[in-house]
Each structure stands twice: as C-alpha cells, then as structure tokens.
Structure 1
C-alpha cells in the first residue's frame, strides 16, 4: 500500500508522545510505502496535483522504540503525483489550510483521503457541533456565535446560568478559552473588544457557550474511528486553569466510558461517517460534546500507555480494509467491463 501523510514538518514531531508518529511507524512496520509532506510542498505540474515528499527508504530500521525510529529514519526526496497513492492521511495541525485542500480536489475521486476534504471543510471550526440537530441540547451545550457585541452582551445577561464559556471560533489547543460571569458583566465589553477586534477591522467571530458543570474538573478525550469509540482518557487541568489540554499544563488519567458518553458516541457516530470524518477526537464534559477535532486528533500515545493497547493498529487496519475494498471493486468493474466488451465483439 502507498500512503502519503500530509502533516506538520518532521522536525516538529515530538517523538516521545506524537500520535502521528505512531501511525507512521505502524505503516512502515507493515511494509507499506510511506511518504511525508507538508501543505507548503503541494504543487501542480502539467495540470497534475503533486507534492515534494520524503519517502522512507528500506534502510530505515523499524524498532519498537519510537524515539529511536524517529531519530534514525532515512528518506529520499521525490516529486510524486498524489493520485498515485492508495491513501492520503491528513494530519496537519490546526488552523486548517483551506488552500491546500484545493490542490487535493482533483485527487479525491482516485485516492482515499482521511479525513475527507468535504469533512475537513465543514468541521474545522467549533460551529460543527451545531450540525448534529440536538434541539433539546441533550448532548450539545447551548452555543452562540457572533461578532456582534450587543447581541453577545444580551446573551450573557439572559443566560439562565451564572457563567458562560467564551472562546475564539478558530482557536485550538485550549487557546483563548475563559469563563465569564454575570457579576463581572461590566468587564465583558472590554473582553469582546479584545476577542473580536477593533471596529475598523472585519472582526473575529467568538463563541459564547453554556457552562457545563464539571468543566473545572477537566474533560474526556475520546478517539472515534469509523463512528465508534476506540479509546479515551480523562484530562485534568492544571491548578488554577480551566483548560484541560495537556499542552496547556494539564495531565491525563485512565478513563472508562460512562453510559452517557457511550450514548453520545452512538448519537454522533453516523453523522461523522456520513461527513467522511473517519478518525476524530471529541472532547466531552459531563456527557456533553464540547468540540470535534478533525485535523490531527491526538491522544493515541497517552491512551496506549494508560490502557496497554496500540490504537494505531486499529486505525491502520481500517485504512487497509478500505483500500483493499476499493481495489477489489475496481478489479471487479474491470472484469465486468471485459465481459461486456467481449460480448459486443461477437458478430
């Protein structure tokens, strides 16, 4: 199988805990041809979408030590057509480079891309959760998004709770997430000026969201594959911080999905698959969906360590099954086409 990872630069990989490295390692270990590239290396040559890629050579030693594998990897530089790959794995970090997706539109019908281009386009920001049609807000917190200061001030004033969560629409990694309280509403206008921007600019959208009880105790990261949960961990924020992200100083604990969390996964799973979002990370607080991470969901290494599992094996098994199925369909189509052509050639 020929696999291309479109990701962040190789030198930025944190070998000790990097999820993408686990996926790459599994592919190389299985003997697949693996190429790495970044959005900046996508190109068009003679109207064909290509990329400058680094291909793992046979000299690369595949040890079970990820740090050693990373440090000793051997590559050769090539310019290759993207439609020649059996699979393209999108693993670039947020924010989404929408222009890079345009390079891949011509490849989409020939090559399996995970996650799908359409899925990435519609789900790369925090508004995607509103598309699950949870009108009773059983699984999705009440969410407002706007750049209108007066509207957002009114939302806070009319909120049934004493506090809400404010965050930038396109933020990631817990960046800019804060709690706003009604009793401090006099400062809210200044916060909005900071988040939205000055009146002379187009302004940035912000999200004002219902505060879910238990948020101060952290959240649960659940990895979903083909609409089903395959692993989870609880993320605990650092003291004095509401952000659970490990990169923001939090830490993780082993977690077994609750009944409510399983129900949530069952509720959102079919739409994720329908939208071509086969491998995602969801962030859940008290049984409610806070975010869907579709670009480069992390957590594989930590969940593996906590549960003594290898989630990357399940992910690559899924990819192999998809590619084999597609190949079989193509071969079957060729066979049936030949039958028709042979019949048509008989006088």
Structure 2
C-alpha cells in the first residue's frame, strides 16, 4: 500500500504550547492512522522551477510525549502530499503572504487546510464585514484623524492590528482618553499601518463564544472569559474556557457563514461570537480544539480527520 503523506506548516516547535496546540492533536490522530506526517516552517518552503518544495522533518511522538521528537530534515516535493495544513500562526506579514503564494502553486489534488489562495485574499478580522448584519460598527484606516473621529462617534472602541492574533496589540479606548492620539500614532506607525477600530461590545464582560466549523458544519464550541481587569478573551491573553450552550442566534450566525466558508474552500474555521455580532472568523490556525475536548470529553480531531480523509480520497480519485 502506498504511503499517505500529510504536511504541516507550523511555527517552530519551541513556540508551541503542547498541551493546548490543535496542530499537535491533528498530527497525532494522523500518525495513529498510519499517515506519514511531516512538519516544516515558513523558512523551509521554496518554489523550485514553479513547483512547491519544503525542507520537512518527519513527525514521531515518543511514548507519553505531548511534542514530537527531533528528526533529520529532508527535501520533500509537496505535490506528493495528500493533505497540507497551513497552520502558521499570524502575524500575516510579508513572509506569510509570500509563503501562501508558494503554496497556491500546489496541484488541486493536494487538499489544503485552508487554501492558500483564501488565506492570501481574506483577513480574519475583515471577513465579518462581508456580512453587515453580523459585524459591529467598524472602521479600518491608517489615518489617526479618521480613527479619532470614529472614537468620538462611538464613544467606546477597541483597536486592533489587522495582521496579528491572540489579543496582541489590542487596546480599549474611551472618548476623552488622553493617550488616544499618541497610541493611535504609535500603532499606525504614523500612517504606515492599518488598524481596525470596532465599537466596544459590553457583552464581552461575559466572554465570547468560539465555535469551530468543519466544512461549514458546527463541530464544537466553548465560552472564553476574560481575565479579571481585562476585556480580551483570548486564551493566550489570560482568558479561560468554560462550557456553554449554543443559542438559536449562535446557530443562525453559523448558518449564515456556512455557505461562504464552503464556497471559499475553508474546511476548518473558528467563529468568535459576542452577543449577536461576529468579531472574527479565524481561518489561519483555528484553535480551542483541545479546550473543547477537555471540557466535553470529545476527541474532535477524530471527526476532523474522518472528513479530511474522505475529501483527500476524492481528490486523488
């Protein structure tokens, strides 16, 4: 039987948090199904005569180890893979965008989670604006005067860089804050960097709901609650995860997003819902799988790989 290959593009292992990392759970599930699993990082990618290659390392988990062990690198023709997981965490900087251009050269039979073209075309923070009824009042600009006007209009806002994740660079501003102008000037790098400003949603005091969608279908969910004194619910910013129920409104929101996700080929997404609004649609490296597993006793990676194996088989056929 021919070996089946899956390649993960991830951050270097020393940057991973093994107990909570979704990519490691997916890797372990594939290894348990006798897939040949490889990992690489952005600097391991290259385009050789128009064909994507990578310097990869095989994934092997020592007994009882959360993280895969060290291994020797090898040149790997990425067109040999059945699946390729682009799960490098933001920032979505120039290196990330160039890597997406390389991966976009993969033949269609390689199942990409998620497609490089979609990652290059869509910003996670801007996807909700495609659904105006779901998005909070927002402004994207590099002009501090426009951002200050938006603050005066909305009274209370959150500002965030477009390219980052996990609550990095996210700030809360109220009308009259003396540090608003210098903070905006610093974050926009004097007009050279775009920011997103959103109306502050008071419902965030109760946290947000992270809903994972697999091929447009609801897979699992969890409530993320900010740490005391903070408004950011991101786990990496100190937020904690609690079990919760999905409301009918939450399910309506997911149903509205589902056709778009399928049309864009996004197989795994993380939707962040606050009240009746969507803050972000995570498509680069959706997380919280391990937290949902821990709270519910499920193994969501099994359901994910079941679907992906079927899709990969269809691609080979």
Provide TM-score, normalisation by structure 1. Answer: 0.84
CA contact (8 A) 2:19 2:66 kept: no
CA distance in 1, matches of 2:51, 2:153: 54
* 1:111-161 alpha-carbon deviations (Å, 9 max, x no partner): 1111011211122342222123x2xx3x211111111222222222233xx
Instruction: Report the equivalent of 2:14.
Output: 11
Q: How far off is 1:221 after superposition?
A: 1.0
| 2:84 corresponds to 1:92 | no
Alignment of 1:264 with 2:264, yes or no, is: no
Separation in 1, partners of 2:152, 2:245:
37
Whether the 8 Å contact between 1:50 and 1:79 is mirrored in structure 2 is: yes
CA apart distance, 1:295: 1.0
Q: SS of the residue aligned with 2:193? A: coil
Q: How far is the alpha carbon of 1:26 from its aligned partner?
A: 0.1
> How far is the alpha carbon of 1:108 from its aligned partner?
3.9
**Are 1:37 and 2:70 counterparts?**
no
What is the alpha-carbon distance in structure 1 between the residues aligned to residue 126 and residue 16 of structure 2? 29
Match of 1:164 among 157, 164, 167: 157
C-alpha distance 177-77 of structure 1, shift in aligned 2 (>3 A): closer
Structure 1 SS opposite 2:257: helix
Q: Secondary structure at the match of 1:49?
A: strand
Distance in 1, matches of 2:247 and 2:287, equals 21
Q: CA RMSD in A?
A: 1.9
Which secondary structure does the structure 1 equivalent of 2:265 belong to?
Answer: coil
| Higher radius of gyration, 1 or 2 | 1
Offset, 1:241: 0.5
Name the counterpart of 1:250.
239
Q: Specify the SS of the correspondent of 1:316.
A: helix
Query: How far is 1:256 from its partner?
Result: 1.5
- Offset at residue 287 of structure 1 (A): 2.5
Q: Secondary structure at the match of 1:320?
A: helix
Residue 9 of structure 1 and its aligned partner are, at CA, apart by 1.6
Q: Is the 8 A contact 1:122 1:128 kept in 2?
A: no
Contact 2:114 2:267 in 1 (8 A): yes
Deviations 1:74-114 (A, max 9, x none): 64432111111111111111113011112222214341111
Contact 1:5–1:88 under 8 Å retained in 2: yes
Q: 1: CA distance between counterparts of 2:113 and 2:257? A: 18
For residues 130 and 43 of structure 1, what CA distance do their matches in structure 2 show? 34
Match of 1:20?
A: 23
In the alignment, is residue 181 of structure 1 matched against residue 174 of structure 2?
A: yes
What is the Cα deviation at residue 215 of structure 1?
1.3
Alignment of 1:194-205 (within 5 A): 194-198=186-190, 202-205=191-194
Gaps of 5+ in 2: none
Q: CA deviation at 1:46?
A: 4.7
User: For 2:87 and 2:112, how far apart are their aligned partners in 1?
Assistant: 11
1:311-337 CA deviation, whole Å, 9 max, x = no partner?
101111111010111223xxxxxxxxx
The superposition leaves residues 255-290 of structure 1 with CA deviations (integer Å, 9 ceiling, x where unpaired) of 221111111000111101111211011111113100
- Partners in 1 of 2:205 and 2:19 — Cα distance? 28
Contact 2:38/2:57 (8 A) holds in 1: yes
